[in-house]
Amino acid sequence: MRIGHGYDVHRLVVGRDLILCGVQIPCEKGLLGHSDADVAIHALMDAMLGAAALGDIGRHFPDTDPRYKGISSMKLLEHVVQLLSSRGLQAVSVDVTIVAQRPKLKNYMDEMKKNVCTALSLPEDRVNIKATTTEGMGFEGEGLGISSQAVALLMPTDTEN
Ligand code: MG
């Protein structure tokens, strides 16, 4: 088994869509970034790459590369799944925490989880997506940005699990 951790932050700005785990969430602000800035999926990909000792998403998908401009991070996650698969590895359990003061994400959790389950070909009991506020403190609390942390457990693809 291999375990990895990921962390990411994006700035909240007017004029961008807010996309978390592939779900577009109604909000007057969205996350700024070269891709769709899906901070939750970025943290998850970094956790998966970290567990495989394959660096980070900045190395695999540089923000200077025009191919990744505006790209859905779910597409990038597909790449990471394939990359791990080519190394004989698969994610078997993942847990993602989104830190945002607002908007409330409760109503979007099921869809977010479904997207991750589909991307990782995992059943519902192997994927967890959760959200917390910081009770108004710090950059997330002040609504300046959203952060996310994730852990991923990988197993060899030939293992029964
Ligand atoms: Mg990012």
- The predicted pLDDT at position 161 comes to 54
**Cα–Cα distance, 160 to 38 (Å, whole number):** 32
Question: For residue 160, what pLDDT is reported?
Answer: 56
Q: Are 18 and 31 in contact (CB under 8 A)?
A: yes
Strands 18-20 and 2-14: unpaired
Question: Cα(60) to centroid of ligand 1, in Å?
Answer: 12
Q: Are 80 and 54 in contact (CB under 8 A)?
A: no
Q: 5 C-alpha vs ligand 1 centroid, how far in Å? A: 14
With a CB cutoff of 8 Å and minimum separation 6, the contacts of 67 are none
Q: How far is the CA of 145 from the centre of ligand 1 (A)?
A: 12
Q: Please give the chain's pLDDT, 161 residues, in tens.
A: 999 999 999 999 999 999 999 999 999 999 999 999 999 999 999 999 999 999 999 999 998 999 999 999 999 999 999 999 999 999 999 999 999 999 999 999 999 999 999 999 999 999 999 999 999 999 999 999 999 999 999 999 986 55
90 Cα to the center of ligand 1, angstroms: 22
Q: What is the pTM of this model?
A: 0.96
Number of Cβ within a 10 Å radius of residue 110: 12
Residue 46: which residues within 8 A CB-CB, separation 6 or more? 4, 5, 6, 7, 8, 56, 57, 150
CA pair distance 120, 25, nearest whole angstrom: 22
Distance 121 CA to ligand 1 centre (A): 23
Residue 159 C-alpha to ligand 1 middle, in angstroms? 31
